[in-house]
């Protein structure tokens, strides 16, 4: 009984004390009682977005929920309503010119009413980043009002009408809404009307050109259609077209170049969410669009630590190929960057947690970073648990600025995974091998070559006079490094109109070539052809050391698949012109490395090597993150 009275007294005292110190207790309490949305989460995520740029699908859903229930929420907890209005405004101000006035007058009304009814206090205004949010929106609104004429081009490589899945690739996606001819009364149509379309049509006999009626329909969908016929690499690839486009337009690039595939929906998704948004942004023809858009990925899938950079088991010999490629492209070794083959494998347990933080480390990491830390901790770390809800008191811990980007922590997990009361929790249990990751160092690079018809180079390289096919000679000349200056083959291949791809490849394999050491190309009386090794440009090192403005996204290599992105013109000049020229001229190199170049485009255009997912890229405006998913796949879970 006495204890009961004591406890009641204590509670009463506390509540009076708190009521005095924190006059907003009433509103705070009603904030906590909100249905359907957690006020603390709303606060933390708003701060996180303003501080780091992180804005995920769940954040867009939360804001949408608040807006759908705005009146009730504004009455109970005005701060939540106001913050949601500001976030929504930052997004739709881009496409709805009237949004600013409409939403801001709503904002002002709610704020006035809350002050009148004392449901919002000075403390709330300090806690919630409302003033900051208003200032951001004002800034965006001003930059949007500054007109700037913006030009843009879509660039694609085009080879065949029937793609490798056997479906017709007639570019219908470019002709239908939201692209295609503008349709009266349909808002989401004609989005490419201000954009030029460059189709690089590949001129091998096995690549069918686009039929005239398709070209006609494309012409009315864009500002100007340009079809460039060119040869490109002998096997499927897209990058010679990209390289050629950059070179041909070097001094006259549009503000934005949009690199896409003919089968763009394969990587971008049927709804083209990212492309649609970025075109709307460009179509604002504003200073804001120019400043906000430097590099923007269009694909949906991001691969983290893919096997193509480290795989080495059995027939899976990716690692040596990647290293040679890397050495040529960047002039240094992949290992220098601190990337290595993952030593550990991870078993995923959805709906489970691992007990206790490893070594008392309570920091939040992204999944790839958490795995790295856990691998370093050795036996003290049994795995990683992600999806653990964030506690309010975590937010202001020192050094935790980045934690909101991630929900994973490293765990001791001595007893293995246990079922979690939090449905979103997922654990990864670690098993590591004691393997010497950087045992073999390979200093060979996958060299680039220039074709010189009707010539030969004198003298065998390293006294090697073995006759080899073209591909084998290339490989051998790479291996001999500086001792080999090129390889000379008996004759140039003649491509006839009726030649099949297979016939060409057979002719290529039947070529008779030898590796050479001479430095002087000499005219050949017998119609020989020489492939002269082209060294990297002296400007390469400068480009490599010119680091990106943004920090790396994580401690491991990651990138969006599919070589589709929007790039501002200054970024297209980030890499030395001579290097691009060399790649563009070596179709074989491009054919051999297409899946590898795919992984580094973003770096050539000035992004960090560990690429940021859209939703956490600190440089992108909210409009380009809103509601656009990224799907992650992991090399240590088997993804190439």
- List interacting residues with ligand NAG (CB under 6 A): 132, 135-136, 139
Closest CA to 531 of 611, 413, 449: 449
Cα 630 to Cα 621: distance, rounded to the nearest angstrom:
16
Nearer to ligand NAG, 90 or 592 (CB): 90
Nearer to ligand NAG, 483 or 619 (CB): 619
Please return the burial class of 568, using the count of CB atoms within 10 Å of its CB with bins 0-12, 13-18 and 19+. buried
Q: How far apart are CB 622 and ligand NAG at their closest, in Å?
A: 12
Cα 348 to Cα 319: distance, rounded to the nearest angstrom:
25
Residue 474: both structure tokens together: 């290339």
Q: How far apart are CB 386 and ligand NAG at their closest, in Å?
A: 31
Nearer to ligand NAG, 136 or 371 (CB): 136
Q: How far apart are CB 132 and ligand NAG at their closest, in Å?
A: 6
Nearer to ligand NAG, 37 or 93 (CB): 93
Give the number of other CB atoms < 10 A from CB of residue 260. Answer: 26
Q: Where are the alpha helices (DSSP H) in 39-129?
A: 39-52, 57-68, 70-76, 78-92, 99-116, 122-127
Contact 78, 24 (CB under 8 A): no
Q: How far apart are CB 89 and ligand NAG at their closest, in Å?
A: 13
Q: How far apart are CB 136 and ligand NAG at their closest, in Å?
A: 4
Nearer to ligand NAG, 383 or 621 (CB): 621
Nearer to ligand NAG, 139 or 356 (CB): 139
Closest CA to 179 of 298, 284, 276, 300: 276
Q: How far apart are CB 31 and ligand NAG at their closest, in Å?
A: 24
Q: How far apart are CB 135 and ligand NAG at their closest, in Å?
A: 4
Contact 467, 524 (CB under 8 A): no
Nearer to ligand NAG, 132 or 460 (CB): 132
Cα 303 to Cα 602: distance, rounded to the nearest angstrom:
13
Q: How far apart are CB 54 and ligand NAG at their closest, in Å?
A: 16
- Sorted by sequence, the CB contacts under 8 Å of residue 347 that are 6+ apart come out as 428, 429, 431
Please return the burial class of 544, using the count of CB atoms within 10 Å of its CB with bins 0-12, 13-18 and 19+. middle
Nearer to ligand NAG, 139 or 167 (CB): 139
Which residue is nearest to ligand NAG, using beta carbons? 139
Q: How far apart are CB 143 and ligand NAG at their closest, in Å?
A: 9
Q: How far apart are CB 562 and ligand NAG at their closest, in Å?
A: 33
Nearer to ligand NAG, 137 or 260 (CB): 137
Orientation of helix 99-116 relative to helix 78-92, angle to 10°: 170
Please return the burial class of 372, using the count of CB atoms within 10 Å of its CB with bins 0-12, 13-18 and 19+. buried
Query: Which residue is it, tokens 């709906």?
Result: 351
Cα 583 to Cα 589: distance, rounded to the nearest angstrom:
7
Nearer to ligand NAG, 133 or 306 (CB): 133
Q: What is the 3-state secondary structure (H, E, C) of 608-640?
A: CCECCCHHHCCCCCHHHCCCCCCEEEEHHHCCC
């Amino acid at each position: 009984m006495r204890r009961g009275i004591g406890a009641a007294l204590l509670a009463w005292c506390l509540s009076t004390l708190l009521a005095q110190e924190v006059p907003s207790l009433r509103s705070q309490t009603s904030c906590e009682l909100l249905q359907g949305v957690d006020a603390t989460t709303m606060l933390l995520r708003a701060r996180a977005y303003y501080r780091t740029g992180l804005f995920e699908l769940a954040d867009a859903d939360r804001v949408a929920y608040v807006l759908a229930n705005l009146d009730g929420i504004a009455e109970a907890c005005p701060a939540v309503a106001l913050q949601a209005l500001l976030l929504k405004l930052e997004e739709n101000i881009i496409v709805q010119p009237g949004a600013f006035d409409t939403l801001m007058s709503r904002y002002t009304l709610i704020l006035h009413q809350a002050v009148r009814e004392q449901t919002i206090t000075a403390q709330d205004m300090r806690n919630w980043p409302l003033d900051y949010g208003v200032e951001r929106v004002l800034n965006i609104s001003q930059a949007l009002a500054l007109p700037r004429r913006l030009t843009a081009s879509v660039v694609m490589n085009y080879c065949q009408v029937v793609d490798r899945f056997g479906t017709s690739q007639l570019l219908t996606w470019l002709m239908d809404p939201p692209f295609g001819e503008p349709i009266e009364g349909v808002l989401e149509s004609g989005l490419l009307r201000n954009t030029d379309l460059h189709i690089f049509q590949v001129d091998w006999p096995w690549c069918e050109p686009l039929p005239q009626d398709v070209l006609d329909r494309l012409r009315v969908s864009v500002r100007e259609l340009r079809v460039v016929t060119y040869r490109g690499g002998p096997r499927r690839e897209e990058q010679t077209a990209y390289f050629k486009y950059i070179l041909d337009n070097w001094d006259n690039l549009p503000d934005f170049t949009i690199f896409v595939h003919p089968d763009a929906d394969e990587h971008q998704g049927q709804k083209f969410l990212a492309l649609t948004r970025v075109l709307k942004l460009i179509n604002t023809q504003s200073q804001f669009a120019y400043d906000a858009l430097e590099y923007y990925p269009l694909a949906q899938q991001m691969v983290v630590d893919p096997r193509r950079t480290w795989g080495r088991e059995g027939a899976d010999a990716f690692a040596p190929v990647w290293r040679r490629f890397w050495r040529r492209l960047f002039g240094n070794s992949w290992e220098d960057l601190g990337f290595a083959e993952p030593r550990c494998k991870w078993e995923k347990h959805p709906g489970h947690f691992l007990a206790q933080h490893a070594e008392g480390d309570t920091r939040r990491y992204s999944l790839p970073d958490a795995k790295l830390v856990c691998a370093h901790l050795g036996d003290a770390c049994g795995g990683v648990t992600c999806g653990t809800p964030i506690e309010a008191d975590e937010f202001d811990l020192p050094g935790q600025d980045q934690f909101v980007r991630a929900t994973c922590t490293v765990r001791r997990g001595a007893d293995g995974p246990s079922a979690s009361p939090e449905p979103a929790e997922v654990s990864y249990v670690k098993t590591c091998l004691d393997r010497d990751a950087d045992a073999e160092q390979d200093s060979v690079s996958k060299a680039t070559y220039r074709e010189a018809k009707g010539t030969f180079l004198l003298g065998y390289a390293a006294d090697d006079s073995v006759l080899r096919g073209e591909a084998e000679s290339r490989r051998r000349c790479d291996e001999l490094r500086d001792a080999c200056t090129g390889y000379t083959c008996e004759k140039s291949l003649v491509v006839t109109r009726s030649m099949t791809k297979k016939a060409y490849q057979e002719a290529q394999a039947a070529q008779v070539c030898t590796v050479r050491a001479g430095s002087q190309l000499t005219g050949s009386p017998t119609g020989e052809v020489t492939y002269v090794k082209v060294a990297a440009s002296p400007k390469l090192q400068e480009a490599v050391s010119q680091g990106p403005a943004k920090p790396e996204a994580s401690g491991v290599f990651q990138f969006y698949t599919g070589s589709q992105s929007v790039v501002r013109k200054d970024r297209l000049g980030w890499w030395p012109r001579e290097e691009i020229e060399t790649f563009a001229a070596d179709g074989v190199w491009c054919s051999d490395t297409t899946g590898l170049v795919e992984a580094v485009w973003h770096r050539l255009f000035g992004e960090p090597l560990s690429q940021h997912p859209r939703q956490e890229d600190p440089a992108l405006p909210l409009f380009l993150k809103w509601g656009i998913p990224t799907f992650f796949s992991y090399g240590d879970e088997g993804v190439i």
